[in-house]
Amino acid sequence: MTRPNPRAVYDRYVTRITDQTAQLVAALDGADAAAPVPGCPGWTLAHLLRHVAGTHGWAETVVRTRATGPVPDHGVDDVTPGADDDITTLTARLTAGAARLVETLREAGPDVTVWTPAPGGTPLFWARRMTYETVVHRFDATAAVGGTYTLDADVALDGLDEWLEFSTLPQAYPSQAEYRALLGPGRSLHFHATDAPEGAGEWFIDLAEAPITVSHIHKKAGTAVRGPLTDLLLLLYQRRSPTAADGIEVLGDEGLFAAWLDGAGHWLRR
């Protein structure tokens, strides 16, 4: 099996940041900055756009400065709207910031050493993470204006891979105690994306003992979760519910699934 070219993979993520940002902005043409965002309780579109722009800016600073340790992320969470916030100003700021991020990523390339909050240590981590930061918040923006959201299968598939890889890391959980509380003999989860290309779209998460592992295999598990790729991705980001009404089927230990989802998704919440 031919391995994908690392530079080609990196360039694909960088291009997706541009594309997803452009789609997010286009979805908000004529929108009200004060419109509430269903997926982010308490936030308006102004909060959301400030957050996405701040996250892009944070990643851009890390890569541009070749940071070797954590960089302040005030712009990520300090998202209080200004009195003069409007969609035109906010989307223009987001577009300009995304362009700076993309330029910085292209200049750096995938292999230089930079700080990352999870394993990786190169701009490749940031290119992938900012892709899915934008993908999910594009959904939030689209939902806020009652628009139609679609996502290419290959993007959703890789987004699921990224989230599930993070779910194995102890630092993704609120505490070591909550991480270890999920572990036990026979505990496992199986995800099946019903519309994935043949040979893809299956994940087995083994919670029997530390470290938690994820593998691309079909294997009977204590809990099985089935649904379309995009719906599964949105489920993991808690934008869908584990119900048939949202296109999701959960079989087996629903309590384990709920506890795992709440714990593993802690550090990617918002």
Write b or e for each residue in 118-140: b if 16 or more Cβ atoms lie within 10 A of its Cβ, otherwise e. eeeebbbbbbbbbbbbbbbbbbb
Count of domains forming the chain: 2
pLDDT of residue 4: 75
Provide mean pLDDT across the span 158-176: 97
Q: Which helix (H) or strand (E) holds 51?
A: helix 45-65
Residue 21 predicted with pLDDT over 80: yes
Tell me which of 149, 179, 203 is where a domain ends: 149
46/144 same-domain check? yes
Is 3 a residue whose pLDDT tops 80? Answer: no
The answer on 237 and 135 residing in a single domain is no
Residue 29 located in a structural domain: yes
Looking at residue 2, what is its pLDDT? 58
Q: In terms of domains, do 66 and 91 share one? A: yes
Residue 152 confidence (pLDDT) above 80: yes
The stretch 172-193 carries a mean pLDDT of: 97
Query: What is the mean pLDDT of the segment spanning 180-200?
Result: 96
**Last residue in a domain, options 114, 132, 149:** 149
Name 80's Cβ contacts closer than 8 Å, sequence gap at least 6: 47, 50
Do 250 and 136 belong to one domain?
no
Q: What is the pLDDT of residue 73?
A: 93
pLDDT at 5 (0 to 100): 87
- Domain end point (choices 149, 171, 204): 149
Distance CA 93, CA 51 (A): 11
What digits encode the pLDDT tens for the residues 64-83? 999 999 999 999 999 999 99
In this structure, the answer to whether residues 162 and 138 fall within a common structural domain is: no
pLDDT band of 136, cuts 50, 70, 90: very high
Please give the Cα distance from 56 to 50 (Å, whole number).
10
Does residue 1 belong to any structural domain of this protein?
Answer: no
Q: Are residues 175 and 60 in the same domain?
A: no
In this structure, is residue 198 part of a structural domain? yes
What is the mean pLDDT of the segment spanning 83-101? 97
The pLDDT of residue 113: 98
Cis peptide before 117 (omega within 30 of 0): no
CA distance 154 to 147: 22
Same domain for 78 and 109? yes
- Measured CA to CA, the distance from residue 172 to residue 163 in angstroms comes to 10
> What was the pLDDT predicted at 228?
98
- At residue 247 the predicted structure's pLDDT band, cuts being 50, 70 and 90, is very high
Q: What is the pLDDT of residues 34-65, one digit of tens each?
A: 999 999 999 999 999 999 999 999 999 999 99
For the cut 80, the answer to whether the pLDDT of residue 168 exceeds it is yes
Judge whether 260 lies within some domain.
Answer: yes
Q: 159 and 93, same structural domain?
A: no
CATH number assigned to the domain comprising residue 132: 1.20.120.450
Q: In terms of domains, do 142 and 10 share one?
A: yes
Domain identity same for 124 and 26: yes
User: What three-state secondary structure class fits 156?
Assistant: helix
Q: What is the pLDDT of residue 270?
A: 66
Question: How much of the chain exceeds pLDDT 70, in percent?
Answer: 99
Question: With left for phi above 0 and alpha for psi between -120 and 50, is residue 72 left, alpha or beta?
Answer: beta
- Are both 144 and 14 inside the same structural domain? yes
* Domain span including residue 189: 154-268
List residues bridging with 202 in a β-sheet. Answer: 192
Residue 212 belongs to a domain with what CATH number?
3.30.1050.10
Q: Where are the beta strands (DSSP E) in the chain?
A: 188-193, 202-206, 213-215, 223-227, 249-252
- Predicted confidence at residue 199, as pLDDT, reads 87
Predicted confidence at residue 65, as pLDDT, reads 98
Verify that 143 and 17 share a domain, yes or no.
yes
- pLDDT tens column, 106-131: 999 999 999 999 999 999 999 999 99
pLDDT for 162 beyond 80 = yes
Exposed (0-12), middle (13-18) or buried (19+): which is 230, by Cβ within 10 Å? buried
